[in-house]
Amino acid sequence: MKAVLDKMSETTPILEIKDLHVSVDGQQILKGINLVVGKGEVHAIMGPNGSGKSTLSYALSGRDGYEVTKGSALFLGQDLFAMEPHERAAAGIFLGFQYPVEIPGVTNMNFLKTAVNSIRRQQGLEDMPAAELLKLVRAKAKDLQMDPEMLKRSVNVGFSGGEKKRNEMVQMAVLDPVLAILDETDSGLDIDALKVVSGGINAHRGPEHSILLITHYQRLLEYVVPDVVHVLVRGKIVTSGGKELAEELERDGYAAFLEAA
């Protein structure tokens, strides 16, 4: 992935969205999103329920049923919507779910082995040696304070909400995506789990990684300070600002933005 980034101009955004419209089951949800995420940047998208935050994440990752009716998105200068979901993953996009799914019968270790080597094959690389992969996964799990025994368990089966989110952070750390789209990663976390998960997000920050944080609340942004905060209301980004904008939303809510929209 570094080789791909090295070929890009320093001024080329990681993600560039222009006038994006997306419908679900015939209903228009996104109504003209414009967004530019540069290399190394963390952008937070905040908004009330039903504003289109999750729709944006699903459209970017290629989930079925989310129809792009207008607009464009470039990822590393390439047409994102011309790529299949697995091609987007191989190119360096990671989606963290609000509600991580359970996969009975598939252990965390096997899941990561399959994901890592699938991406490597699509990039023309050989499979990662088993011993090297195991060492990598165990190190990332330790960083996220995850019991190594959980690597032997089925993906998210019987996990608490905090354990599921921590598991996703391990997945992100191992896969090392260029763009991480995290859909309400703070949902359902107690304060201790929030600190651990935030630590995982901050550990991923760097000049070759960009992060799109989707959240309702300012509390996550106390630990992961964004470069830009966007307010998404009724399918459009109505304003953008710094961390102080998130603090304003925490204090005053979305009423003024809903009225304006």
| Contact call for residues 204 and 172 (beta carbons, < 8 A) | yes
Domains along the chain? Answer: 2-260 (3.40.50.300)
Q: Chain-centre distance of CA 206, in angstroms?
A: 15
CA R_g for the chain? 18
Cα–Cα distance measured from residue 172 to residue 109, given in angstroms and rounded to the nearest whole number:
14
Q: What pLDDT shows up at residue 8?
A: 53
d(CA 59, CA 47): 17
- pLDDT tens for the chain, 261 residues long, are 444 455 455 678 999 999 999 999 999 999 999 999 999 999 999 999 889 999 999 999 999 999 999 999 999 999 999 999 999 999 999 999 888 999 999 999 999 999 999 999 988 999 999 999 999 999 999 999 899 999 999 999 999 988 999 999 999 999 999 999 999 888 888 898 899 999 999 999 999 899 999 988 888 999 999 999 999 999 999 999 999 999 999 898 888 888 776
Strands of the sheet containing 93-96, edge to edge, are 93-96, 179-183, 210-215, 42-46, 228-233, 236-241
pTM, entire model: 0.91
User: Measured between alpha carbons, how far is 168 from 238 in angstroms, rounded to an integer?
Assistant: 30
- The token pair at 118 is 């699938």
Strands 228-233 and 66-75: unpaired
- Token representation of residue 70: 């207008």
